[in-house]
Structure formats: C-alpha cells, structure tokens
Amino acid sequence: MKKQVIQDWRDIEQKESTILVLGYFDGIHKGHQQLFQRARQLADQSGLQVALLTFPESPQLAFSRFRPDLLLHLSSSELREELLEQAGVDLLYLQDFTSEFGSLTGQEFLDTYVASLKAQKLVVGFDYHFGCDRQGAQLLASSFPGQVEIVPSYDLDGKKVSSTRIRAALAQGQVEEVSQLLGRPYQTCGIVVHGDARGRTIGYPTANLAPLDRLHMPADGVYVVDVHEGNRVYRGMASVGKNVTFEGDELRFEVNIFDFAADIYGHRLKIDWLARLRDMVKFSSVQALIEQLEDDKNRAQDWKERD
C-alpha cells in the first residue's frame, strides 16, 4: 500500500483512475470491512486501484468542544494501516481535518479532492456526509458523474456495528462483544516499565505497562489476554485499575504472562483483550487475593473463543 500525507488537494499526485473510498474508519470494524470488500470487488472488475482519503484524527476535533477522549482511537496508526492494506486499499491519502477542509461545500469537495483523486467510482457508507452543507450519501448520485456505491448498515444481534457501539462496549469491559464487532481481538500496546514488584512476592509477577498509543482502554477489571512478545504469543491475565487491596491510588495496567520468566523492561508488548474475568476487588487478606488469582489463572488458561 502506498501512503501519501497531504496538506490539501493540491498535493495529490494521482494520474490513474481509482475506486475512491471516503470516510474516517476508526478501528476498521466489520461494517467498514464490508465497505472495503465492495471497493475491492469493483476495483478487480474494472482493473483499477482502491484509493482511500481519510484522516489521522477524528473530524470531531474541528467541530466539538475539546474532550480528551476525542484523541483516543480504536486502533493504533500502525495497526490501522496494516488492516487497510489487508482490506485491499492500494493508495492511502491522509489529511488533517482542518477548519479549511471543513469549510468546503460538498460541490467544492467533489471539484477539488474527488476530481484530483481521479475517482471513477465512489464507495461510501450509508451514513456518510460530506461538505459544510452536510450533503448525504444519497445526494452523491446527483452530484458525482461516476458510479456511486452506498454500502448499507451491517448489523450484529439486531444492532448496527459502529465505532460508537464498540467504544460503549469497551467502557463496560465487554471485550468479547468488541471482538465480535471488530472481527478480531481488540489490541493495545504498552512498554514494560518498573512498578512495585509486589506481584513477585505473592507468586504472580506482572509486567507493568505504560500505554504507547492513544487508545481506548477496557473498563477496570481483570481480563484474559494474549500477549505478543517478539515473535511469540503467550496467554496471560491483565488487570486495569487501582490496586485497592494494597491501598493503591494510581491507575495501573499490569499483565501476568503465563509460562514466561524473562526480564523484559523496555520491551513493547501487544495485548489482545479476549474476555473479562471479574471486577477489581479489595480482598480482606493477601491469602484471599492469592486464591482468587489462582482461580483467575485457571479460567484464563482454559478460556477458548466461542464459535
């Protein structure tokens, strides 16, 4: 996949016609995958390349009062680009969603960006809007001279698959539902840093992780995870939240990696969130905590993805 970061439409260097996909696509969930699958089909039928014009950050930053959560994502930029390439995107154009970009009318957007990208056919989601005059996907057909493919909603369990639904599920710790919506486990990344080293004293050493990407984290709790370290994947259990049993008041992200004993400070770990085991609980004694951790470990080792 070829990537070009542009400031505006004048930077676009596209000589051949394309199947152009438009949208933000945070997370590349199952609904997004349907859209890219259709674009790939059209491209293969017509001998064209799939081009995508999208944004590294949420367009809401240009319109809404700032909230820190607007900077959070459902996939790292690295993973997002890997997923886009796997989905069949040949040409990726990235542009910041600025006030200048947002001030274009729908027709101006078509006359500048879409024309410069040599779009022969457009592929958009059913809820896509463009231009400061909020043109809807249905109106593209009357404004764009080529073919317009509007991909309908993709539903799961009777509800639309969307980034909003995924964020809500993460906020509830429902990582199994998130995996179903994404079509893969939800993944975050962290670097191993020094902590209290208390886990070693009770037989459950943990890698303390400092998150490296601006990603949404699951709700506080204990989870079954797969840990990517180097070229290997290990089962483990992760905890997110305050260590209330030891009167901790700092938010911690820790993972106990099964059958693993190497010194990995400074290493980057990718964490696949598989299932929620329980809430964070304050235990009456260290022994009670150890007994619970043993049960957590057994359940994590036995966990298997449902068909």
**In which residue are the tokens 């010194």 written?**
263
Which residues span the domain enclosing 225? 185-302
* Minimum mean pLDDT range among 64-68, 138-142, 295-299: 138-142
Span 26-78, pLDDT tens digits? 999 999 999 999 999 999 999 999 999 999 999 999 988 999 999 999 999 99
pLDDT at site 201: 58
Looking at the fold, whether 28 and 146 belong to one and the same domain comes out as yes
Cβ atoms of 127 and 135 closer than 8 Å: no
Domain annotation covers residue 180: no
Looking at the fold, whether 32 and 149 belong to one and the same domain comes out as yes
Portion of the chain with pLDDT greater than 70, in percent? 93
As a whole number of angstroms, the distance between CA 53 and CA 117 comes to 9
Burial letters 221-250, b for 16+ CB under 10 A, else e:
bbbbbbbbbeeeeebbbbbbbbbebeeeee
Looking at the fold, whether 238 and 123 belong to one and the same domain comes out as no
Write the CA distances from 235 to 79, 102, 273, integer angstroms: 21, 45, 11
Tokens of 307: 């068909």
Residue 242: band (very low, low, confident or very high) from pLDDT cuts 50, 70, 90:
low
The answer, yes or no, to whether residue 148 has pLDDT greater than 80, is yes
Looking at the fold, whether 204 and 105 belong to one and the same domain comes out as no
Residue 245: band (very low, low, confident or very high) from pLDDT cuts 50, 70, 90:
very low
Looking at the fold, whether 58 and 127 belong to one and the same domain comes out as yes
Domain annotation covers residue 209: yes
Cβ atoms of 274 and 209 closer than 8 Å: no
pLDDT at site 143: 84
Tokens of 123: 């592929």
- Reduce the DSSP state of residue 122 to 3 states and report it: strand
pLDDT greater at residue 275 or residue 282: 275
HEC sequence for 89-117? CCEEEECCCCHHHHCCCHHHHHHHHHHHC
pLDDT greater at residue 251 or residue 291: 291
Tokens of 243: 């260590």
Looking at the fold, whether 191 and 273 belong to one and the same domain comes out as yes
Looking at the fold, whether 290 and 193 belong to one and the same domain comes out as yes
Domain annotation covers residue 108: yes
Q: Which helix (H) or strand (E) segment is 148 a member of?
A: strand 147-151
pLDDT greater at residue 113 or residue 288: 113
As a whole number of angstroms, the distance between CA 101 and CA 103 comes to 5
**In which residue are the tokens 């809404």 written?**
64
Domain count, the chain: 2
Write the CA distances from 23 to 55, 177, 224, 249, integer angstroms: 8, 24, 33, 40
pLDDT at site 243: 60
Domain annotation covers residue 174: no
As a whole number of angstroms, the distance between CA 260 and CA 207 comes to 11
Number of H helices and E strands in the chain, helices first, is 10, 16
pLDDT at site 189: 93
Q: Mean pLDDT in the chain?
A: 90
As a whole number of angstroms, the distance between CA 137 and CA 2 comes to 27
The answer, yes or no, to whether residue 6 has pLDDT greater than 70, is yes
Q: Which helix (H) or strand (E) segment is 20 a member of?
A: strand 18-22
CATH code of residue 31:
3.40.50.620
Cβ atoms of 84 and 11 closer than 8 Å: no
As a whole number of angstroms, the distance between CA 20 and CA 123 comes to 6
As a whole number of angstroms, the distance between CA 163 and CA 74 comes to 8
Looking at the fold, whether 67 and 130 belong to one and the same domain comes out as yes
Domain annotation covers residue 176: no
Residue 115: band (very low, low, confident or very high) from pLDDT cuts 50, 70, 90:
very high
Span 154-210, pLDDT tens digits? 999 999 999 999 999 999 999 999 999 999 999 999 999 987 666 565 668 888 999
pLDDT at site 303: 94
pLDDT at site 221: 94
Looking at the fold, whether 153 and 228 belong to one and the same domain comes out as no
pLDDT greater at residue 244 or residue 70: 70
CATH code of residue 286:
2.40.30.30
Looking at the fold, whether 15 and 132 belong to one and the same domain comes out as yes
